[in-house]
Amino acid sequence: MIRAFESSLLNTFGLNERPRPRKNLVIPPYMLELYHSQTKDPENPSVNFNFAGKSTSTANTVRSFHHEEESEAEQPVWEGDNEINRRLLFNTSAVPSVELIKAAELRLFREQIDVDHVQYGASTDHHLYRVNVYEVMRPNSRTNSDTITRLLDTKLVDVRNSSWESFDVRSA
Q: How many domains does the chain have?
A: 1
pLDDT of 119 > 70? The answer is: no
What's the domain range around 96?
2-168
| pLDDT reading at 69 higher than 60 | yes
Residues in the chain: 172
State the CB neighbour count (10 A cutoff) for residue 112.
Answer: 12
**Ramachandran assignment for 11, one of left (phi > 0), alpha (psi -120 to 50 degrees), beta (any other):** alpha
The predicted pLDDT at position 73 comes to 46
Please say if the pLDDT value at position 124 is more than 90.
no
If one compares 27 and 155, the residue with the highest pLDDT of the two is 155
Beta bridge partners of 110: 163
pLDDT band at 40 (very low <50, low <70, confident <90, very high): confident
C-beta contacts of 160-166 below 8 A and 24+ residues apart: 160/112, 160/113, 160/115, 160/127, 161/112, 162/109, 162/110, 162/111, 162/112, 163/109, 163/110, 164/30, 164/107, 164/108, 164/109, 164/110, 165/107, 165/108, 165/109, 165/110, 165/131, 166/105, 166/106, 166/107
For the cut 50, the answer to whether the pLDDT of residue 153 exceeds it is yes
> Which has more pLDDT, 161 or 14?
161
Global confidence as pTM: 0.66
* Bridge partner list, 138: 148
CA distances from 73 to 69, 77, 79, 85, 145 (A): 11, 10, 16, 15, 18
pLDDT, residue 155, reads 93
- pLDDT (tens digit, 9 = 90+) per residue, 49-64? 666 656 566 677 788 8
**Which position has the higher pLDDT, 5 or 54?**
5
Q: Which of 17-21, 43-47, 83-87, 111-115 has the highest mean pLDDT?
A: 17-21
Residue 122 pLDDT > 70: no
pLDDT band at 152 (very low <50, low <70, confident <90, very high): very high
